[in-house]
Amino acid sequence: MTPATAAPPAPSPDRELADALLQRRDEKAFRELYRRHTPRLFQVVLRVLGGDEQDAEDVVQETWIRATERLGDFRWEAAFATWLTGIGLNVARGLLRRRGRWEADPESVPEPWRAPPALGERIDLERALELLPAGYRAVLVLHDVEGYTHEEIAAMLGVVPGTSKSQLSCARRAMRNLLDPAPTRTV
């Protein structure tokens, strides 16, 4: 009995669209890729940028420009969404670096913008995310919100998986400090 050879996997819908875009400059294919991936990409970069919608829109636009320029070089070893998100993160990091906001001191998590919340109150999660240093915020969003593995995050950010794990731990600790109600004091 001869072993059956498995048929190669069918190309993903994203790959079919990308091929149509590359081979025929098919605008409908681009629009479909854009429609599928832009909402999630926008949310990721919006959070990484600390909530600045205008900057997030600019980053998404630049991400798509770079992605279409490099689409022919994409090897399909990762999902299209992962590759696109990696490009978006690089664009966002570049913007934050130019503004001096990426290399923040990881030990100095800023204080909340208002007085500590009264017992029972909580700082809004999105606001707390904005207060994290950009590197912590990126890893927290990619891992805990978007579900990427430390290996995928490391590849996207150009770090080793251990750095991703360490930054996630620090980011979670900082978030707990920002979100926990202030301890009550009796006089």
Residue 164 has pLDDT above 50, yes or no: yes
> How would residue 102 be classed by pLDDT, with cut points 50, 70 and 90?
low
Give the CATH number for residue 55. 1.10.1740.10
164 found inside a domain: yes
Query: pLDDT tens digit string along 55-71?
Result: 999 999 999 999 999 99
The range of the structural domain enclosing residue 61 comes to 12-103
The pLDDT of residue 158 is 85
Mean pLDDT of 163-173: 92
Question: Which of these three, 74, 103, 132, is where a domain ends?
Answer: 103
Within-domain flag for 150? yes
pLDDT for position 98? 87
pLDDT of 113 strictly over 50: no
State the pTM of this model: 0.68
Does one domain contain both 165 and 128? yes
5 falls within a domain: no
pLDDT tier, 110 (very low <50, low <70, confident <90, very high otherwise) = very low
Q: Which two tokens stand for residue 56?
A: 């997030």
Cα-Cα-Cα-Cα torsion 65, 155, 53, 21, nearest 10 degrees, comes to: 30
| CB burial of residue 7 (10 Å; 0-12, 13-18, 19+) | exposed
